[in-house]
Amino acid sequence: MLSQHAEQDGSTKHAGSAAGQVLAVRGAVLDIRFAAGALPAIDDALRIARPGAEDILLEVQSHLGPAEVRAIALNATEGLQRGMPVERLGGPLMVPVGEPVLGRLLDVAGRTRDKGEALPANTLRWPIHRPPPPLARQSAAVSVFETGIKIIDLLVPLGQGGKAAMFGGAGVGKTVLVMELIRAMAERYRGISVFAGIGERSREGHELLNDMRGSGVIDRTVLVYGQMNEPPGARWRVGLTALTVAEYFRDAEKRNVLLLMDNVFRFVQAGSEVSGLLGRPPSRVGYQPTLATEVATLQERIASVEGAAITAIQAVYVPADDFTDPAVTAISTHVDSMISLSRAMAAEGMYPAIDPLASASVLLDAEVVGQEHEALAGRARQVLARYRELQDVIALLGVDELGSADRQTVNRARRLQRFLTQPFGVTEAFTGTPGRSVPLVETLAGCRAILDGETDEWAESSLYMIGTLDEAREKERARQSAGAA
């Protein structure tokens, strides 16, 4: 297995490495000449030393001839000049892994960015380009990953060692949901978490770091960021850096890892920018012609092996709410659980704004979740689907014009919708409402009670933004007492 020790700057020195020379600089793209026969391989790392400033790291993307390569920069290229020497690092970019990186915030090259102490000089390093585990090593065992979020556990169960993606447009709650899952998983499973901020805002990264320090889970978490203001090369490769850190804990230490990515669409977007800078003709809707290959390279490395698993939860921005976008469809083909966030539900205040009919999971099967859970989820979907069919009729004629059976369906569907809302711990500072984490057994019991008609006479508000059904029952009693008084 590839690994070696290297220095803190995120690169690797090789004795006798041949030097090159900068021929041209076009923003984040550089053309470099090497001696004949000394061309670095595709995906190899290069370095340009700058006295008094941070070294510039590059990654080779193409060979232009027998002595020239084209490379993409992983950090800003201001101040570069033609003729500057370029050092070959003899292989892919190497990043630090293992216990020293726990509790730290790293960039794409593995350099610490949290103003803490430098990593130990003997920190183990692995290359960011690694093959996925062979199929013979991958484990097919499936177990449900309970989140404490009612609508996910009921209708879109997540699998340990699986890949789940949350698809949604701007402002519908993807990042809030990811942050709640980080908090819930850290408290519930007490495993290793690796967070990849791909093209994230600096504010969000700062808030997440402070939240994790405040909640006491930072010691079991690694944060890896390629921020929105960084060159496309950094945003394109930061997901691979985070994956490499996660793979070390899975393969070398046999520990389960939760890998969270926000936002995978920006990985695709960065790849499109890189493709354009390299002069490749665009493909459908302006995306890079290598879209499917790039997404597969990232996603296929997320896998379970005997004794340990990487469980991935990914946020995916949907441009213009178009779920047929090529980037969205390319990502969705790799996931086991697809959580679709709805702008219409967010507008109605149904948070988390997960569309129960557009979301799906391969784990919602009687052999995985049990006969009772599957049947209950099926009943819930049926009631919610019928309610959606009747909404146009209700808007035109009103509920009173429906038949008795349909009125009952609408009544229960509205209560079920509200029961599946839930306050989050990460939003407590803004809403003043403490977060709720609900065990699956309580979620199933509450759903069953609503579908069986136990809450038909309750006010809908009693079921809104609560945890268990017992909490709704107390709210209903309080409401009735206030009405009687």
Active site residues: 174, 200-201
Taking residue 214's Cβ as centre, other Cβ atoms within 10 Å add up to 9
Residue 318 CA to residue 332 CA, distance in Å, equals 11
Q: State the SS3 of the chain.
A: CCCEECCCCCCCCCCCCCEEEEEEEECCEEEEECCCCCCCCCCCEEEECCCCCCCEEEEEEEECCCCEEEEEECCCCCCCCCCCEEEECCCCCEEECCHHHCCCEECCCCCECCCCCCCCCCCEEEECCCCCCCCCCECCCCCEECCCCHHHHHHCCEECCCEEEEEECCCCCHHHHHHHHHHHHHHHHCCEEEEEEECCCHHHHHHHHHHHHHHCCHHHEEEEEECCCCCHHHHHHHHHHHHHHHHHHHHCCCCCEEEEEECHHHHHHHHHHHHHHCCCCCCHHHCCCCHHHHHHHHHCCCCEECCEEEEEEEEEECHHHCCCCHHHHHHHCCCCEEEEECHHHHHCCCCCCECCCCCEECCCCHHHHCHHHHHHHHHHHHHHHHHHHHHHHHHHHCHHHCCHHHHHHHHHHHHHHHHCCCCCHHHHHHHCCCCCCCCHHHHHHHHHHHHCCCCCCCCHHHHCCCCCHHHHHHHHHHHHHHHHC
Q: Which residues are within 8 A (CB) of 203 and not within 5 positions of it... i.e. 6 or more apart?
A: none
- Beta strand 56-63 with 19-26: parallel, antiparallel or unpaired? unpaired
Tokens of 374: 């599957």
Nearest partner of 269 among 234, 224, 243, 244, judged by Cα: 234
- Tokens at residue 477, please? 């009693």
The token duo for 133 is: 């585990």
Would you give the distance in Å from CA 93 to the centre of its chain? 23
Q: End-to-end distance of the chain based on CA atoms, in angstroms?
A: 73
